[in-house]
Amino acid sequence: SQQGEEDPQALSIQEGENATMNCSYKTSINNLQWYRQNSGRGLVHLILIRSNEREKHSGRLRVTLDTSKKSSSLLITASRAADTASYFCATEETSGSRLTFGEGTQLTVNP
């Protein structure tokens, strides 16, 4: 089964609004990462947060991690039409080097 589960599965917002996506996981992790996938393309790494970190920022992205609840959220502020894509969380478990990806959130930003 998938380690990470994103919520919601799909999100549609207007340009300029903020978008929040959530991810839950089941086991102990070394880190949690968020990736973006544009239609027909490969995944692109956005941001990584380590298990001993609680919040991280990168440009318009803000990631939080709550290891007690085994959950993370990705906030995209002041969204743009170009942010339209699928967003995946991925966890690196403490047991190894592999990443386990969630099922993704499809974000649509309407101009």
Partner 1 sequence: DAGVIQSPRHEVTEMGQEVTLRCKPISGHDYLFWYRQTMMRGLELLIYFNNNVPIDDSGMPEDRFSAKMPNASFSTLKIQPSEPRDSAVYFCASSMTGSYNEQFFGPGTRLTVL
Contact positions toward partner 1, by CB under 8 A?
2, 30-31, 33, 35, 41-45, 48, 50, 88, 90, 92, 96-104
Contacts of the segment 46-52: beta carbons below 8 A, 24+ positions apart: 46/74, 46/87, 47/74
| Closest distance to partner 1 from the beta carbon of 61 (Å) | 15
**Closer residue to partner 1 in complex, CB, 18/94:** 94
**Closer residue to partner 1 in complex, CB, 25/35:** 35
Specify whether the CB–CB gap between 16 and 104 falls below 8 A.
no
| Closest distance to partner 1 from the beta carbon of 16 (Å) | 29
Phi, psi of 50 (to 5 degrees): -85, 160
Specify whether the CB–CB gap between 31 and 52 falls below 8 A.
no
| Closest distance to partner 1 from the beta carbon of 62 (Å) | 18
**Closer residue to partner 1 in complex, CB, 43/109:** 43
**Closer residue to partner 1 in complex, CB, 13/31:** 31
Neighbours of 33 (CB within 10 A): 21
